[in-house]
Amino acid sequence: MKYFSLFLLCPLLVFSQTTRNDTTYRQRYRPQFHFSPKKNWTNDPNGLVYFAGEYHLFYQYNPFGDRWGHMTWGHAVSKDLVKWTELPPAIAEENGVMIFSGCVVIDSLNSSGFGKNAMVAIYTGHEEGKRQTQHLAYSTDRGRTWTKYAQNPILNYTPEQRDFRDPNVIWYAPLQVWLMTVVLPNEQKALFYHSKNLTNWTQAGEFQMKNTALGIWECPALIDFDTPEGKKWLLLISVGKGAVAGGSGMQYFVGDFDGKNFIPQDTQTRWVDYGKDFYAAIPFNNSSQKIILGWMNNWQYANNIPTSPFRGQMTLPREISLVKKEGKFSLKQQPLKNHYEGALPTFFGNAKTLNNSFKSTKSTDNFGLNIKAEARDFLVKLKATDKSYTLVGYNAAQKELYIDRTQSGLTGFSKDFPARTTAPLLPDANGLIHLRILVDRCSIEVFGNDGEATMTNLIFPLDNSGGIRFEGDGLKEVQWYKPQNAW
Catalytic residues: 44
Q: Which residues pair with 102 in a beta bridge?
A: 123
Q: Are strands 230-239 and 217-227 parallel, antiparallel or unpaired?
A: antiparallel
Q: Which residues pair with 137 in a beta bridge?
A: 121, 148
Q: Are the beta carbons of 277 and 294 closer than 8 angstroms? A: no
Q: What is the CA radius of gyration of the chain?
A: 22
Whole-number Å distance between alpha carbons of 198 and 171: 10
Whole-number Å distance between alpha carbons of 379 and 418: 18
Whole-number Å distance between alpha carbons of 222 and 238: 13
353 φ, ψ (degrees, to nearest 5): -65, -40
Assign 3-state DSSP to the chain and report helix, strand, coil percentages, each to 5. 5, 45, 50
Q: Are the beta carbons of 101 and 123 closer than 8 angstroms? A: yes
Q: Alpha helix (H) ranges present in 346-401?
A: 351-359
Single out the residue of 453, 67, 418, 4 nearest to residue 215, CA to CA: 4
CA distances 43 to 46, 278, 440, Å, are 9, 11, 18
Query: Which residues, at least 6 apart from 24, have a Cβ–Cβ distance to it below 8 Å?
Result: none
* E-state strands within 83-188: 85-91, 98-107, 118-126, 133-139, 147-148, 165-172, 177-184
